Structure 1
Amino acid sequence: MIRLAVAVISGLSCLGQSALAQDPQVSFELDSETAIVGQPVTLRIQVLVPTWMPKPAVFPNVEVPSLMVRLPERATGPVSQRIGGATWSGVQRSYRLYPLAAGPFELPDGEIVVTYADPDTSDPVEFRAPLPDIRFAARVPAGARGLNPPVIARGFALDQTLEGATELAAGDAITRTITARIEGTTPVLIPTLTAETEATAVRAYGKEPVISETEERGVLSGTRVETTTYVGQSAGEAILPGLTIDWFNVESGQVETATVPETVVTVTGSALSAAPPMSPREIARRVGWGLLGALGLWLAWTVLRPPLFRALAEARAGYEASERAAHRRLMRALRTRDLSASLAAVEKWAGFFPDLPQAALPVRRALAGIGAARFGRQAETGKPAWNGAERAAQSARRAARRAAGTAGSGRSLPPLNP
């Protein structure tokens, strides 16, 4: 264990021993000079002041390449200590440093900024303590030196799931998910899990790996998940490679092995075109036909559009002026219980049967009853009256069309021999 204490004299003039004794006390503690790759080294920084700190202490950045820095739960907390017969209070912060590769590490230059109350005036005083020269080295245990990559953890496991059948028709797919779980270190150290397949019977479509990290009671764990979908391309057999990862168990000091078996996929049929590549003449011919077709469509749109739109407009106008449209407007007014619109619509419809003045009489009577019930002395409304008006309108149209002797426009044809 390395413990370093730093005393910084604020100001350029010499101070007495009593004044120096009132300066904040900053100490740094590294629990080991040697770490194992992937396993944490703990750095503790403690700040003590003779009074109190009106502002939180500002701690330095200790990030360096190939070193992962984590602040565990409750990384920063209050501390107190008896110094010179008095109780000093302060704060302590703990960092967990995870080396991701073997070799020496040196923390960067930095400083801690402490603001505390002056013992005499209680005014805030800023105090700066530089980060001392903190170094340590990371190594690979002797038993793990033959591993490539060196997976060093408390626990490691591989798992595989398949979605879909291993016997595919061309165009069908099977999805393979490989999950690696690691305990006691970061999942960043887990290597790639899915090897490329050289089989032509399938085509692989891989997603981006998903890396998740968790921490429980200061211990890092996590997973790496790789998902690949294989689509059948041509008849044949494809082998999805298995996976074997040797890892070093820091608790047992032994090398253990995690495996995922290979998967054999059979494809029937072919999703690839068997036609030979087109010649330049065939390509030119198809392009020419395509251009002629586009020109024909443009001419048709330009020449035929105006008369076509006119014909559509005339057909629409003819329909709106027909007996069928008039009766539909009447039925729509009755269904919406609009008395004014119904009275106007029944008269419009009756105009198509000038020779049958009684054609609309049942509908008029029904609407008159609805008006009397609504505006009379004993006003009452309800669905039965309107339903009766709808039935009367349907019956009146059938009777009028039979009487007129037509099933189309509602007008009687002129006699053949006047």
Structure 2
Amino acid sequence: MSASSPVPRLLLWLIGLTLWFNGDAFAANPFARATLATEGTIYAGQQIEIDIDVFVPNYFLTPPQFPLFDLRGAVVTMPDDRGMNLNETVDGEAFSGIRKTYVITPQAAGTYALPTIVIPFGYAAVPGQTTQGKVTVPRLKFTVEAVPGGAGGAPGVTAGEITINQTFDRDPAGLHAGDALVRTVTTRAAGLAPMMIPEPSLKAPQGVQVYRHDPVLSEERTPRGEIAAGLRKDVATYVFAEPGTFPLASITLEWFNPQSGKTETAEADGAQVVVGAAPATETAIAPPAPPPTKEPFDWLWWATAAASVLALATAIQVAANLFGRLETWIDAALTRNAHSEDTAFRQVLSACRDQDKARLDTALDRWSRRTGNVPLEKWLDRFADQETKVAFARHRQSRYGTSQSHHERPDFARLQSGLKSARRRWLEEFSGDDEAADELPGLNPVFDSALRKSR
């Protein structure tokens, strides 16, 4: 017996250790719970609140997505501003929670159970890392009793307190035929959603037309932002075409108060509308109207109008002339720029950058003829350095040499920088001669170039 006694102790120790680890694992997992916040007996038609709490260890990284579910035989709503942050410690583990409150109005007596509700979220299982999780809300059940005295468990209206107020836009006893009377009825129901407040009866007596406006639904809130009551405002316009006395019926609404357990009544008094005959309009006898007089011709007005038209036409003509001159000047400036020495040389540099042999020869020929530097080799001998001359010679050889030399690749980078330096030296030498860079080439560019050099 003594030899086998350590075995049960070891088994008990292992079982306890396993339960301890399982408890920690459970405590470290997210969980949800559902709580019926409304206390006492629940009656058909009564608005109740159910709190859904979702807890995660550490903290949320993406908020839980609370769905709006369907519950057969009940109206389910979820105010967006009813979220609440929670903090709780379970088995020594710190949890963060978020609560959403669902508002449910059961329409008949019976037992209700929440459907399967799955809520996804993201949380920090490991601080700094997002872990996707989801929980299933426990299926909370609650029982709804029939309203005492109700027909077959029909919901009727169940609320904490209901009041009805009405106003008229004028004295109902001081109307005349053809006048209209506006009646405004405001129903306030504590503990009842605005959409659940019944529509009041605003019928018109015989011989009176009534026009109903769309109802306005709103909520009354406490200073802390909590919903205190539902509000419904109905407006009707009565039109009285004939004189007489017309009664407007009172408005009554019965509701069951779950706090007192009694059926109570809210009422707005009716009104007697007295409509008199329309006031008679007297026709005054007036003397005959004098014959119309012919107004004199207004010379000043016509002269001013003619002068204004003439001034406008003159301004339009002047503007057209100025615009034509401006257009001509712009065209001439664009033409000068297109045929300028600077534009022609930029095309040479562009061909070097693109390493286009054919376009380089065309651009060099155009520039040399534009500036009178013909032949180009003579200009290069005077202003280009030896490396540029060699690069240009290799370019010409690759273009016009033997078939083997066509495969040689000129040094375009050296040629580009050398041509820029040669042009800069050429411009410095002939900086005083503007015609060399701005005018069109002469009829004999070789003679003109020699003439400029002789100067």
Structure 2 partner of 1:81: 89
Match of 1:127 among 113, 127, 133: 133
Contact 1:144 1:248 in 2 (8 A): no
Change (3 A) 1:157 1:33: closer
Contact 1:199 1:239 in 2 (8 A): no
Match of 1:194 among 201, 212, 226: 201
Structure 1 partner of 2:57: 50
How is 1:365-376 mapped onto 2 (pairs within 5 angstroms)?
none
Change (3 A) 1:228 1:117: closer
Partner SS, residue 152 of structure 1? coil
The offset of 1:21, in angstroms, is: 5.3
Distance 1:146 1:263 in 2: 35
Contact 2:247 2:270 in 1 (8 A): yes
Does 2:182 match 1:209?
Answer: no
Q: Provide the aligned C-alpha RMSD in A.
A: 3.8
Distance 2:104 2:147 in 1: 15
Q: Which has the higher strand share?
A: 1
Match of 1:69 among 63, 66, 77: 77
Distance 1:62 1:155 in 2: 28
Match of 1:97 among 99, 103, 112: 103
Aligned residues: 268
Structure 2 partner of 1:151: 157
How is 1:15-414 mapped onto 2 (pairs within 5 angstroms)?
17=22, 22-31=28-37, 35-64=42-71, 66-71=74-79, 73-83=81-91, 85=92, 87-103=93-109, 104-119=111-126, 123-142=129-148, 150-164=156-170, 165-200=172-207, 202-216=208-222, 218-268=226-276, 324=297, 326-329=299-302
Partner SS, residue 301 of structure 2? helix
Distance 2:217 2:95 in 1: 41
The offset of 1:109, in angstroms, is: 2.7
Which stretches in structure 1 are left out of the alignment for 5+ residues? 1-15, 271-322, 342-418
Distance 1:212 1:69 in 2: 15
Distance 1:110 1:149 in 2: 26
Distance 2:209 2:26 in 1: 73
Which stretches in structure 2 are left out of the alignment for 5+ residues? 1-20, 279-295, 312-455
Distance 1:249 1:146 in 2: 18
Ranges of 4+ aligned residues in structure 1 off by more than 6 Å: 143-149, 331-334
TM-score (norm 1): 0.53
TM-score (norm 2): 0.50
Distance 1:263 1:148 in 2: 32
Change (3 A) 1:118 1:144: same
Contact 2:169 2:182 in 1 (8 A): yes
Contact 1:144 1:255 in 2 (8 A): no
Contact 1:63 1:69 in 2 (8 A): no
Contact 2:69 2:76 in 1 (8 A): no
The offset of 1:152, in angstroms, is: 2.7
Change (3 A) 1:26 1:184: closer
Contact 2:32 2:136 in 1 (8 A): no
Distance 1:325 1:42 in 2: 83
Change (3 A) 1:28 1:169: closer
Distance 2:106 2:214 in 1: 22
